[in-house]
Amino acid sequence: MIRLILGLGLLPTSALTLCAAARSLGALTLRAPAARPFLIGALAALGLWLLGLASQGRGIRAGVLRAARWVYVFGHEMTHVLAAWSIGARVHGMEVRSDGGHVELSRSGTFISLAPYCIPIYTILVIGAYRLWLGHNPGRGGAGVFEALVGATLAGHLLMTGECLWQRRQPDLAAAGGMVFSLAIIAGCNGLAVMVLTKALFPRVVALVDPLHRVLTLSAMFWVWSYRFVKSLVRSLPEIHRS
């Protein structure tokens, strides 16, 4: 019950964070020609995802798409594993298939259960690999390829996370504290991830502090208005009863 209430309390903030993230992406599309590699990578991921939805049967194309989904599932399950290791839990086994997978852990919790839905693991790997590349090859560039890979991996994470939550019942959400609480956390974390990454890549175009301040202000206004509405409604109930 506590997490349900907390989830309901977080929903407005999470929704506003997603809206702010969408505005950040809109700013890149309209005002940042330098962001074209990032946007091309994101569109490529979208095209591959749509192709996967439409593809049926066998053949080379279907095999490539199954391989792409296997890669996503592997990253999803490995994020469970890394989250478990980070808090000292033991991993007893992992299964990965193109249509799903699971891990066997000594214990679970909110962080372990929701980590794959909130953390774009392949985007983090791309960033780490690029930093290593620059460390060993200073001045060699490759920024366009890096931005395209960030766009592709981030878009792929968002699309596949949305698909998983929409098409299948996820036991992870129940283990984390219920659907409402989990969806609020997932939405807020992904919106924040988009804002932080786009700000880091394109600091002159994307704002961060002002949108986050606006999110918090509007969230507070929503709950103040809701409190006043409920308060006035409760006060009016005796009058309605007497009449």
The model's confidence at residue 56, banded by pLDDT at 50, 70 and 90, is low
The whole-number average pLDDT for the span 209-230 is: 92
Mean pLDDT score of the chain, rounded to an integer? 88
- Average pLDDT over every residue of 209-232: 91
Q: Tens of pLDDT along 162-203?
A: 988 887 778 888 888 889 999 999 999 999 999 999 999 999
pLDDT at 119: 95
- Global pTM? 0.89
pLDDT digits (tens, 9 = 90+) for 112-153: 999 999 999 999 999 999 989 888 877 677 888 999 999 999
> CA 55 to CA 17: how far, in whole Å?
33
Counting the structural domains of the chain, the total is 1
Asked whether residue 75 carries a pLDDT value surpassing 90, the answer given is yes
Predicted confidence band at 234 (pLDDT cuts at 50, 70, 90)? confident
Domain that holds residue 74: 2-242
Residues 6+ apart with CB under 8 A from 172: 113, 114, 116, 117, 182
Top-confidence residue, 166 or 10: 10
